[in-house]
Amino acid sequence: MNVVVVESPAKAKTINKYLGPGYKVLASFGHVRDLPAKDGSVLPDQDFEMSWEVDPASQKRMKEIADAVKASDGLFLATDPDREGEAISWHVLDLLRKKKVLGDKPVKRVVFNAITKKAVLDAMADPRDIDIPLVDAYLARRALDYLVGFNLSPVLWRKLPGARSAGRVQSVSLRLVCDRESEIERFVSEEYWNISALLKTPRGDDFEAKLVSADGKRLQGRSVKTGDDANRLKALLEGATYTVDTVEAKPVKRNPGPPFTTSTLQQAASSRMGFGASRTMQVAQRLYEGIDIGGETVGLITYMRTDGVQMAPEAIDAARSAIGDQFGARYVPEKARFYSTKAKNAQEAHEAIRPTDFSRTPDQVKKYLDADQLRLYELVWKRGIASQMASAEIERTTVEILAENKGEKAGLRAVGSVIRFDGFIAAYTDQKEDGEQSEDGDEDGRLPQINAREALAKQKINASQHFTEPPPRYSEASLIKKMEELGIGRPSTYAATLKTLSDREYIIVDKRKLVPHSRGRLVTAFLESFFTKYVEYDFTADLEEKLDRISAGELDWKQVLRDFWKDFFAQIEDTKELRVTNVLDALNEVLAPLVFPTREDGSDPRICQVCGTGNLSLKLGKYGAFVGCSNYPECNFTRQLNSDGAEAEAAALNEPKALGADPHTGEELTLRSGRFGPYIQRGDGKEAKRSSLPKGWKPEDIDHEKALALINLPRDIGKHPESGKMISAGLGRYGPFLLHDGGYANLESIEDVFSIGLNRAVTVIAEKKASPGRGRSSTPAALKELGDHPDGGAITVRDGKYGPYVNWGKVNATIPKAQAPDTVTLDEALVLIAERIAKTGTGSNGKPVKAKKAAAPKKTTKAASADGETKAKAKPKAAAKPKAAAKPKTAAKAKAAPKAKKAES
């Protein structure tokens, strides 16, 4: 019997069926060990010695693997076919050797790009040894991410309170978003006019032609700058006669694009289906690992972390055969198509993402897939098959028209296109990403019959005013595309990097656009000012290239680390003498448009509007940065930095907005803004009562009625009919509530606080008493059933008082904040449950388990996951605050990284 180690239990189950009784397939559940998030995990002074830690959940899995290997004939390491998968195999092998269970048993590494019976059996028949250069590249990347995160993040904590973390790839990706925001702020809109004529042919057909030349000069897209110029040209065309000068019909061929890479799949899923990068990868993972198709579990797509654009020869042959069957012989080109990537530093070590079997059409598998799986599979199938189809044949017609008016001449042009043969378009059409131009430029429709030298009748002249627009904010998809173009990150890191930026609240996703939070802009400005080199795009891309050369065996991984650490450590040391005032001065200049937005009245935006003499400047507080007056405490003006960089309204400028008087006290109600957001205040001085606006309430919507209701909370509803004690409704730290006889009951919404009546309040309190553990019901209803746990018992997704969670018996594991509960898969749930058991030491029956006696699980950071390509082991946790402003260690000390509870890679 041979033992085969894979990463996920779903994959293990599928592969076990393929291999039969002579094999035992076990899952590692991703990484089995990682660098502990503490000092000394990487020691530069000891030639970058790395200390690894196995958490309790992985200890249990490794024991199962070790026990199986001890009784086996040999070991096959079949983790994913990439650098991260190679590293997992290396970790497993290293731990087994330390347990001394291998003896002289043969150990082989096998890789397969698709989970089909043929691919798995072919891989098992052609094993190899572990690729040590690939492992070295992983070690170098992991060490770099650790050294950057655990040295740079504490500098931020000391010099920029409120900042969460920094990371090697994360910070450069954040800079892209912030640089785009700065472009938008600096953008000056320009006026321009478009002029066109609606003309009629002698046959009575209308069409539109655009003005392209006048006064003997060619007009570019924005040549007509003013309304006066537009009116002059419009007058010329109004009285002109029109003659067709030339008609040119030109055949054009349009070729298909290559099959999907990780980046292009994420872009297409975003633009077509609105999927985020993480959601795309979760669905793709399920399609890769296998779906039950009529009693047989089979992988539907190839490995989904790749930057390669080629398909295997046998896949190309299968695609061409399927094209003939599905579309007809004319759609099969004479020769197969071959592609090469344009992305910087692309490794192209694997195939593009394609269906494992092109004859398995979306219609055939529709009944076996859920909605998301079907949509993504259909996208992959269509793009893959289109990549080998014939070119589309398009006839583009260009009509040049001469307009004459009393000796003045102007030229107009009409362009139209007709698809003569749809070719690959029959299967797949490219869809432009937000803010990008379409592949063909103008979206031209079809023109009517137009003949050269014939006269045309004028119907109408249109002159429309336009203004240039700033570049669009990045979406997840367009940011990933830009990262790929620059050579920043790798296919397996894109989604994790974006998730980290969102979790750290460095960016906000607003209508699918990435808006930098003020916190993110501060961090970027700080790094650009004092760590310029390490957020440069070329530097990061060059480092990625060195990691790729390590993979190819061309560079020594420790020498790459030595070269990096020498300069990086010196930069960290230089910040010791950096004073907070120096930081603020630099940030005031770099972020001037954000900190000192232009005022409508033209006054100096750096002078306090409240006292009129103080200078405004960034200030640093416990909870981050804000704008304050230099005359503090005489002038207590403060203003938050808005996440979108726009100037706040009157309330945000700390200029009290009068809302009327409280009829009960006669005191004035005002809307104000402080460091913690907008609030209502009644009266003045120390005795004034204040109440923050509830979540979802906008300052511009606050009127006298709402302000009065809010400031007078808690609201007495009435006396309880049994106890005779008052029931009150109010807003607290954890949301809206009812208070009765010292006990609390949650309300569903803020509106309930102001509208709930006595009868309903009594019912809510009674329900709370009946089920005190969970408010109104002892166990929330299941939102989604995921399947059964390997040890028995159903696993479900539920929504509780503190958010969505995964439930297995008496084990409840919180779902990460950034993940939608309906996207959680069974594999992800198993990992969350295992981590929860390791942390609490109790199983599904509520009784203690042995894992409780093991060492406490390490605090793996998502930051390290993002840049280090850590997979299933990454555990989302709240950002921890450092106990003290620790100083970076010197190179002579044994431990290189300063103390930190949390860091970013």
| HSE-CB for 866 with a 13 A CA cutoff | 32
Other C-beta atoms lying within 10 Å of the C-beta of residue 748: 12
797 touches 783 (CB < 8 A): yes
Q: 138, 192, 303, 534: which is the annotated catalytic residue?
A: 303
Residue 844 tokens, joined? 């599904």
Q: What is the dihedral of CA 83, 88, 93, 99, to 10 degrees?
A: 150
Closest CA to 587 of 634, 644, 530, 522: 522
249 touches 397 (CB < 8 A): yes
Phi/psi at 355 (nearest 5 deg)? Answer: -65, 145
Bridge partners (DSSP) listed for residue 796 = 785, 807
The C-alpha atoms of residue 38 and residue 36 are separated, in whole angstroms, by 6
Beta strands in 468-610 (DSSP E): 507-510, 513-516
109 touches 128 (CB < 8 A): yes
DSSP H helical segments within 20-82, as ranges? Answer: 56-70
Exposure string of 345-383, with b = 16+ CB inside 10 Å and e = fewer, is bbbbebbbbbbbbbebbbeebeeebeebbbbbbbbbbbb
Residue 2 tokens, joined? 């041979």
Exposure string of 540-552, with b = 16+ CB inside 10 Å and e = fewer, is bbebbebbbbbbe
Phi/psi at 292 (nearest 5 deg)? Answer: -75, 110
Phi/psi at 674 (nearest 5 deg)? Answer: -125, -165
| Amino acid, res. 541 | A
- The residue behind tokens 């199986």 is 68
Closest CA to 897 of 885, 881, 886: 886
Residue 535 tokens, joined? 């957020």
3-state secondary structure of 582: helix
- The residue behind tokens 């592949």 is 439
Closest CA to 166 of 142, 140, 147, 141: 147
The C-alpha atoms of residue 874 and residue 863 are separated, in whole angstroms, by 9
Give residues with Cβ within 8 angstroms of 534, minimum separation 6. 148, 152, 168, 171, 527, 540, 568, 571
DSSP state of 753: H
- The residue behind tokens 């250069």 is 133
Give residues with Cβ within 8 angstroms of 126, minimum separation 6. 110
Other C-beta atoms lying within 10 Å of the C-beta of residue 817: 11
Strands 107-109 and 74-77: what pairing? Answer: parallel
Phi/psi at 473 (nearest 5 deg)? Answer: -65, 155
Tell me if residue 805 is catalytic.
no
Residues marked as catalytic: 303
